[in-house]
Chains A and B, each alone.
Chain A
Amino acid sequence: MSFHRISLTINGELEQADISANMTLMDLLRDTLIFTGTKNGCAAGECGACTVLFNGEPINSCLVLAVECDGTEITTVEGLGRDSQLDPIQEAIMDAGGVQCGFCTPGILISARALLDRNPNPSVSEIKAALVGNLCRCTGYLRIIESIQEAARM
């Protein structure tokens, strides 16, 4: 097993880590750097709970090797807000009652932020398509969809 030192920007701060070649970005975030807002729901790229922004694009961090992240910019749920000011999508999902158990919420917020960044006025079907890789078992999605529409208006 080879080991590597990587540098990357996480939520606007430069970080370094010494990692094994087979470590995933999810494990780097959760186990080494303790960004536990990124959740492990399946470790197989199926549930979306570990979604983070990788150079602005939403990806399943369980499917990306940490070594591939050298020099990249990563945003996790902890980095959505700034200076205790929440991102509008975080406010909107609370207001719409789109949070229940909260386990899928970080991944959903990241997917929603990525959608709004590339499409500030998404339609309902565009929102549904953007969330199709984020499984939620509690809410039935409707309030989450509503909250993304609301965040787009904010």
Chain B
Amino acid sequence: MVVSEKEAKPVGESKPRIDAREKVSGAAIFGDDIQFGNALLHARILRSPHPHARILSIDTSKAESHPGVKAVVTGDDFPGYIGLYLLDRHIFARDRARYVGDPIAGVAATSELIAEEALELIEVEYEVLEPVIDAEYGASPDSPLIHPRLEEYQVASFILPQPESNISNYFKIRKGDTDNAWEKCTAVVERKYRIPHIQHVPIEPHVAVAQVDESGEITLWGSSQSPFAQRNLIAQALGISQSDMRVIAPYVGGGFGSKAGVSMESLAVAIATKVKGRPVKLLLTREEEFFTAFVRQGLIAYFKMGCDEKGNLLAMENKFYWDAGAYTEYGVNITRASGYSSTGPYEVPNVTTDSYCVYTNHPVGGPMRGFGMPEMHAGLEQCIDELAAAISMDQVEFRRINCLKDGDTLVTGSKMHPTGLSQCLEKTAEAIGWGHKGEPSAPNKRRGKGLALMWKAPAMPPNAGSSAWVELAEDGRVTVGIGGQDLGQGVFTVAAQMAAAALGVPFEWVKVATPLDTRYSPYEWQTVASRLTWSLGNAVVNAAKDARNQILDMAAEAWQEEPENLDILNGMVVSYKSEREMPLKDIVIYGMPKPDDQGWIGGPVIGRGKFMPDYVTGLDPETGQGERAVVHYTTGAQAVELEVDLDTGQVEILRGASAFDVGKAINPDMVLAQIEGGFVQGMSSALFEALDLKDGYVQNPSFVDYRIATSSDVPGGIQAMIVEVAQDDGPWGARGVGEHSMVPTTPAIANAIYDAVGVRLEGPPFTAEKVYLKMLEEGVVK
């Protein structure tokens, strides 16, 4: 809903974060900061040392009699299945362990040390099985099966597991006639890319504290992007009612997807069921964080694309093998999202895509900022550069011709909504000085520029909902209830801005009801998919309007005027007709006297609002074609200028430029902060990051061996730019941008490396060693 400009303030203003003071003073409470006193028990988890093994026996008797141990649990205690789209795992492994780190048993004890000692006393007998460590092989009929009972698992209707295989979802696009399109192409590029697993590494490790009371009601405190999904999924897995499960979610010290859905929280809850009344804390070590929390899936991607002599894209044929790991909380939907977005932000008449989600004996793949899009665009946007070069066309010009515009036909057959992608392209190209080659800073260096486009839709069930409430107090000030989490992206501040604007009060009057608590907070599907500003924002606006209508109806009756002539401005009810005015504080709790002064009207004001998209349709399972696959796409562009050192292969990013079409920036400065932060996270994944997996074992589970960008790696400047082409059903036209900012970074850097030294690698990270060896191989250096 587009609300008039008059009502817009403070929307569109760069208000300060409402959580900043708490966070800089040390007062902000995160999960591990909550105090539980001496009743607290500490949990540790015994994990599989094998990537793939049959569990023959578990003997916990010695651990149980270890002094200080209060409970030991195994898979036998919890037979239920758990999962978001595909219920494919038990809380603790039963019968079979499927990755190094798979939980085998859990211990609760009076100290962490005692719990650690007890783990040593648990005896497990395994029969080691052949591990599957390559997704493409895993998808083949030759591969051993990791989930032999796949076809018996419960699954969402839009996920299509393939029986008797390791393929947990298979998504296809069949659009136009790809086979006969190639002969019409002047140039065709065919490439293979391999994108490694990476880790989210939020600086706050995962933590969960669970307590079960005498009646069986469960309370879970945790660092969570998804308190409501955890309530739902954990209750289902334990066979209890959702209303007997309460999740309290304080501040989250970084999520990036790793704290979405259910992961280690279910372990803490399961153990707590055996020690009623006592809170049980599970805090992952940094080492566990690297291989037992969700990782970003690996990807093997094949692209083939062709264009005519004028540069029009005619056909694409893409094949994606997603290395989903042992279980697939979100991977099945990443596979689907990459399928229905598989052309990138381009109009392509003939498309064949096969996207496979493949079980392997690797760590569990989960959602990570971008939800498959950074991995997919990494290769796709390099092919676009190569195809432009093949017909001797400038890469920006090629993108200008092909990039999606309003009304273009999408890969799924539906039409593109109004988008500022072309503007993003022009702004980014101009900012980076496209077409002008800079002078290297030293004789042994080479300079290059690269650019990439992106698109991404919120990938979620078609009916993911949001709700909100708005309540006023005796002083006329406002509390907004939401169920969406602030991971640092700033949703609490943005919710307050939107409530203030829609109600008609100053921003400083609005507080957000935190911490999130499923008992008191209104429902929110999850804090994922960059969907909150849009979806939760609509719910907040609806709640504020509901409160506003209650107030205006009351004042109209009391003043015997029409509500249409009344307004709320700066916390004051005003009449444009009679010019009467009344501060909110005088009327929002106690109501107003009736016109004849005999009795009262109104009473405490609480507005309620919700939002749920009702227009998303399914896709044909054979062709991937449908009316409307997603709610919308956020689009954008990114460019970099870098230098490659010929002596060492080291890549230094000199500067970056990014533009994204956010529809409407509710808080422009926080949008820019997302764009900058995403650039650096993308840069980090492009230059440094890969989980070093050897036969299923992660070799580098520490910050020393798994390097992320530090202060010394950041470029001199990142020019972040906002484009605003309104979303028809976004609040003030807004759509999300949190994840998008790291989607085009890897291919932009790859294209710039090619521009500098003429080499391309099979995949990131573009470490000095790999770049140098490639330059050596291709004769760039001797």
Contact = CB atoms under 8 A, between A and B. Distances in A.
A144 B286 CA distance: 24
B711 A134 contact: yes
B677 A100 contact: yes
A131 interface: yes
A28 interface: no
Given A36-B33, A44-B702, A143-B673, A131 B26 contact: no
Most chain A C-beta atoms within 10 Å of own C-beta, residue among B21, B205, B679, B681: B205
Contacts of A44: 286, 702-703
Interface stretch (B178-186, B332-340, B712-720): B712-720
Nearest to B32: A40
A99 to B, nearest CB: 5
A101 B252 contact: yes
A40 to B, nearest CB: 6
Contact of B202 (A37, A40, A137): A137
Interface in A97-133: 97, 99-106, 109, 127-129, 131-132
Nearest to B677: A140
A46 B205 CA distance: 13
Interface stretch (A2-10, A63-71, A73-81): A73-81
A86 B285 CA distance: 33
A132 B714 CA distance: 11
Interface in B168-210: 200-205
A47 B24 contact: no
A94 interface: yes
Given A34-B35, A86-B24, A101-B488, A135 B681 contact: no
A79 B16 CA distance: 23
Nearest to A108: B711
B712 A128 contact: yes
Contacts of A100: 487-490, 673, 677
A128 B27 CA distance: 26
Most chain A C-beta atoms within 10 Å of own C-beta, residue among B285, B488, B708: B488
B30 interface: yes
Contact of A143 (B21, B25, B676, B703): B676
Interface string B1-42: 000000000000000110111111111111011010000000
B670 interface: yes
B23 A99 contact: yes
Interface string B646-678: 000000000000000000000001101100111
A138 B20 CA distance: 14
Contacts of B283: 40
B286 A138 contact: no
B749 to A, nearest CB: 15
Contact of A41 (B19, B204, B718): B204
Contacts of A104: 203, 253
Contacts of B488: 99-102, 138
A21 interface: no
Nearest to B489: A100
SS of B interface (majority): loop
B204 A103 contact: yes
A119 to B, nearest CB: 15
Given A43-B286, A139-B677, A105 B24 contact: yes
A101 B24 CA distance: 11
B742 to A, nearest CB: 10
A103 B24 CA distance: 10
B711 A39 contact: no
A111 B717 CA distance: 22
Contacts of A90: 24-25
A52 B672 CA distance: 30
A54 interface: no
B215 interface: no
A127 B762 CA distance: 35
A93 interface: yes
B156 interface: no
B30 A43 contact: no
Contacts of B255: 101
B26 A106 contact: yes
A93 B27 CA distance: 16
Given A41-B286, A43-B285, A102-B488, A142 B681 contact: no
Contact of A46 (B254, B286, B673): B286
B670 A97 contact: yes
B772 interface: no
Contacts of B19: 99, 102
Contacts of A106: 26
A42 interface: yes
Given A86-B25, A145-B711, A139 B676 contact: yes
A101 B202 contact: yes
A137 B708 CA distance: 8
B676 A140 contact: yes
A46 B708 contact: no
A99 B711 contact: no
Given A86-B25, A102-B19, A141-B709, 6 more contacts: A36-B29, A42-B702, A49-B204, A97-B17, A103-B202, A135-B710
List of 6 A-B pairs having minimum Cβ-Cβ separation, nearest first: A37-B26, A103-B253, A102-B23, A140-B680, A100-B488, A101-B488
9 contacts: A46-B286, A94-B24, A100-B677, A102-B19, A128-B714, A132-B710, A141-B714, A142-B717, A145-B714
